[in-house]
Homo-oligomer: A and B are copies of this chain.
Amino acid sequence: MREFGNLKEKLREKGFKLTPQRRSILDTIMENEGKHLSTEEIYDVVKRRCPEIGLATVYRTMQIFDEVGLVYKHNFDDGRSRYEVTNNEDHQHHHLVCIKCGKVLEVEEDLLEQLENQVEQKYNFSITNHNVKFLGYCGKCR
């Protein structure tokens, strides 16, 4: 489990406060690790422990968390953004997206270092993260 001290610091660094709402949101996405919740889904869950919260607050909070690097904003092509906590890894892991049923699996391997180094040199680009999706058919659908 991750310590709150770090998080608070991470927010403070950029001039943000750790309000009860933000903390509830953080709790929620940490408890639902690997689920890729959308903003509205997060809102629905958070409302249970924090009934007065507004949807706009969740939207604003997710923007901040993304900016600060607490979460990663995914696009799985279903019309809404989905979020995942970044577990202090500097790089995102990869995802398998089934183009039939839409299921999203996670891949543990990274293995892109070598490729990234090549690309950084050749294109004069400083890579801070990557986003890798493999599209295809999952076991059930193929």
A residues neighboring B (CB under 8 Å):
73, 75, 77, 94, 96, 98-99, 105, 107, 109, 111-112, 115-116, 118-119, 123-139, 142
Measured between alpha carbons, how far is A95 from B19 in the docked complex, in Å?
A: 37
Closest A-B pairs by Cβ, 6 of them: A127-B136, A124-B139, A131-B133, A75-B75, A128-B136, A129-B135
Copies of this subunit: 2
Does B119 lie within 8 Å of A130, measured CB to CB? no
Measured between alpha carbons, how far is A73 from B77 in the docked complex, in Å?
A: 9
Q: Which residues of B contact A135 (CB under 8 A)?
A: 127-131
Q: By CB atoms of chain B within 10 A, which of A77, A99, A130 has the most?
A: A130
